[in-house]
Amino acid sequence: MGYENIRNATRIERETEPITMSFHLPSNITAQRKPINATTYAYILHHSELGQLGQILLSACVTGRCNVTSLVHGHPGDQMTERRRVVFEPLARTFAEQIQLEKNFS
């Protein structure tokens, strides 16, 4: 299964230091953080009933900005993808908003 509908990257002004933040998930959702490279992490969200919801990619840039990109797991038009989207999109939006409020990420 692939990722459907790559969303536009959200550009957020940041200082060049790492970003630390607390992000609380509902009890039926878990997240795994995987480093992609020295400046990019993937947060993979998994729902206890819907399976993998999608991933949030967080990339720090040397310019002091960071990109947050969210990807819903599944295929266009698939009913399960739409169910995942309903759960995933608010979480991804909250994550991006939290990044805007924080100074660091790690």
pLDDT tens by residue, 3-43: 433 333 333 333 333 344 566 788 999 989 899 998 888 98
pLDDT at 23: 67
Residue 23, phi then psi, degrees to nearest 5: -135, 115
**Mean of per-residue pLDDT scores for the chain:** 77
Cβ atoms 18, 87 nearer than 8 A? no
Model-level pTM greater than 0.75? no
pLDDT of residue 105: 47
Task: Look at residue 74 in the predicted model and tell me its pLDDT.
Answer: 95
Is the pLDDT at 71 greater than 90? The verdict is yes
If phi over 0 gives left and psi between -120 and 50 gives alpha, with beta otherwise, what is residue 77?
left
